[in-house]
Structure 1
Amino acid sequence: MHHADHQSVPPAGAPLIDPFGRPISYLRVSVTDRCDFRCVYCMSEHMTFLPKSEVLSLEEIDRLATAFVRRGTRRLRLTGGEPLVRRGILDLVASLGRHLKTGALDELTLTSNGSQLDRFAEPLFAAGVRRINVSLDTLDADRFAAITRWGRLPQVLDGIRAATAAGIRVKLNMVALAGVNEDEIEAMLAFAADNGHDLTLIETMPLGEIDGDRMDQYLPLSRVRERLARRFTLQDIAVRTGGPARYVRIAETGQTLGFITPLTHNFCESCNRVRLTATGQLYMCLGQDDSADLRAVIRATGDDTALDRALDEAISRKPKGHDFVIARRGAAPAVARHMSVTGG
């Protein structure tokens, strides 16, 4: 990747602060809408992907992310689709890693399905990645194949081991699905404890039309928590990672368990993050459709003055919270776009 001079070490600009006084310190960037899996709660089996011209180039992603870093973003997470299927992704990670070296960025991380980690773990570590989130909903190979449609569990477990061996901490994200993997949550906790992983449980979200009725999969985490509390001592802990999870410590094992309950508004108050899609649309809130077209801005000019203005304007529209509700049966999703477009 070649950088114009204005992209080398950005002089700090005024921090981006939303109307509620929250600094925007966390940017999630979807680097592709494509994935090598077709998880049943995320995509339909026959997805139509974006034409290449609509997707940001790696240079454009770098330019946008760098503008955010210049304006006070401290944590950058690359998502997808599956970020590691994007051609040239390592060039982008290595390039963004320069902001870790200057101290402008505290963390550069990814959310991945783990399928490509076996070959990417070491170069990712070399580029400055120290932590990665891997989606893992089951430890049963047949069930894994059914949930992911195209995925193979052994490949993902190898990837997780490779990342750990390379020095990258792996956090596991498990979507809790009623009647699918709810009987496996304790097994996943044990797997996480044995291998040094934190685990976060996630409720399914009403994003994008999928094949099937999402209400059938919906498992309230309050119910999961109640069940776990019968077996374990769950201690609330105040740790906030800047993401939406609420954490407990399991007294018996000492491990941390996170709960992400997007439907209960519990994480809007302290929301410090925005999301950039693979097409350069900036979403100020995952649960609302309001967005800003940053692709148009950067394709119009190589000068970042207009981009800075567009960022100020977008962040001025960041809402206090969202309106997610899983509604009555058969209702359309609260937000029509797929999770794979906005980025996990």
Structure 2
Amino acid sequence: MIPTGLTDSLTDLYGRRIDYLRLSVTDRCDLRCGYCLPKGYKSFEEPADWLTFDEIVRVVGAFVALGVRRVRLTGGEPLVRRGLAELAAGLAALPGLDDLSLSSNCTQMQAQAAPLFRAGVRRLNLSLDSLRPERFAQLTGGGRLSQVMAGIMAAKDAGFTPIKVNTVAMRGVNEDEFPEILAFCAAHGFTLRLIETMPMGTAGRDAQRDYYLDLETVRSRLQEHFNLIPDLMPGGGPARYYRVAETDTRIGFITPLSQHFCETCNRVRLGVDGTLHLCLGQTHSVALRPLLRAGASVSELAEHLRAAVRLKPERHCFEDQAAQLVRCMAATGG
């Protein structure tokens, strides 16, 4: 039976309407950023346990039927899964889905940008923690900045807009580059978003301990060099945006710890194995793969999604329960 007291949309017990799904298509990645994947990590999901493209379209169809209007393809690194443009086309065709976007490290974007754009992906969030080749290689476990830059420019040429550059802010690691990265974004019409480290899994907890930066402090430093004016930007994400005065350049600050944004959280995450994560910083989850493999219809899936959203907690508890969050970021979906 469908729980009473819920509307046709996905609304949790705290009155938050869920209209944004972050969909992981793989937990694999071709880079090894230290805050995301622990050194030597091998606990990846077996391909047999990945949701198939058909299963993904079915479950996303149920989300869309319940009012979800934004879907972001994530990973791991989503571009390492073969046939991603085919999946994107299937999702873009769902009636009622208004916004299909992608998060990527752009290592493989040069070849895939045009097919993905033709398939219906329109917005891009890309990861870029340094503009210095040697530092970039060190941070990513051997990644080549030139390859990433070629992918970024291919995405720009393909027509993705807006393009948001996500930079994890790390004390003593890349904080000296923030003005440089902001200038790069301004030169290309991109938006910069600085992100605080989060204590997810062993890697995340180590990064939190060693490199955490309060972004309010960072904003104050940048304010000394740039006149930052509070601003807004569409997209359904958690960033607090500012615009550089007399320009169209925006910078966003994502602050899950120093200024949490749980009261406005409008999103859930679906792992590649079909696990629905109700909160990034809690362990609440529901397994949807058994329902999909049993042939559940869209209406049956919708009933389970309504019930699942009732489990979404009021806020994360990174401060109190970090040790319980054994899953790494790559296993959760960005």
| TM-score (normalizing by structure 2) | 0.93
Q: How far apart are residue 304 of structure 1 and its match?
A: 3.0
Corresponding residue of 1:23: 17
Corresponding residue of 1:173: 166
Matches within 5 A, 1:1-344: 14-48=8-42, 49-99=44-94, 102=95, 104-169=96-161, 170-210=163-203, 213-214=206-207, 215-239=209-233, 241-251=235-245, 253-325=247-319, 333=323, 335-344=325-334
Contact residue 74 and residue 107 of structure 1 kept, 8 A: yes
Q: In structure 1, the residue corresponding to 2:224 is in which secondary structure?
A: helix
Structure 1 unaligned spans of 5+: 1-12
The one-character-per-residue Cα deviations of 1:53-99 (angstroms, maximum 9, x if unpaired) are 22211211111111101111100001000001012211101111112
Aligned-residue sequence identity (percent) comes to 50
Please give the alpha-carbon distance, in whole angstroms, between the structure 2 residues aligned to 1:191 and 1:232: 14
The one-character-per-residue Cα deviations of 1:219-243 (angstroms, maximum 9, x if unpaired) are 1111211111111212112445321
Moved over 6 A (4+): none
Please give the alpha-carbon distance, in whole angstroms, between the structure 1 residues aligned to 2:8 and 2:149: 43
Please give the alpha-carbon distance, in whole angstroms, between the structure 1 residues aligned to 2:277 and 2:206: 26
Please give the alpha-carbon distance, in whole angstroms, between the structure 1 residues aligned to 2:51 and 2:258: 33
| Distance 1:333-1:112 versus aligned 2 partners, 3 A rule | farther
The one-character-per-residue Cα deviations of 1:81-125 (angstroms, maximum 9, x if unpaired) are 0001012211101111112xx4x1111001000011100110111
Structure 2 unaligned spans of 5+: 1-6
| Cα RMSD after superposing both structures | 1.8
| Matched residues, number | 325
Contact residue 209 and residue 332 of structure 1 kept, 8 A: no
Contact residue 199 and residue 206 of structure 2 kept, 8 A: no
- For 1:124, give the aligned amino acid: L
Q: In structure 2, the residue corresponding to 1:262 is in which secondary structure?
A: coil
Higher relative contact order (CA 8 A, sep 6+): 2
- For 1:143, give the aligned amino acid: R
Contact residue 74 and residue 102 of structure 2 kept, 8 A: yes
Contact residue 28 and residue 79 of structure 1 kept, 8 A: yes
- For 2:206, give the aligned amino acid: D
Please give the alpha-carbon distance, in whole angstroms, between the structure 2 residues aligned to 1:260 and 1:267: 9
Contact residue 24 and residue 272 of structure 2 kept, 8 A: yes
The one-character-per-residue Cα deviations of 1:174-223 (angstroms, maximum 9, x if unpaired) are 00111110000000000000011001000110011129832111111112
- For 1:243, give the aligned amino acid: G
Q: How far apart are residue 253 of structure 1 and its match?
A: 3.8
Please give the alpha-carbon distance, in whole angstroms, between the structure 1 residues aligned to 2:258 and 2:187: 31
| Distance 1:332-1:304 versus aligned 2 partners, 3 A rule | closer
Contact residue 31 and residue 78 of structure 1 kept, 8 A: yes
| Distance 1:212-1:248 versus aligned 2 partners, 3 A rule | closer
- For 2:198, give the aligned amino acid: M
Contact residue 197 and residue 204 of structure 2 kept, 8 A: no
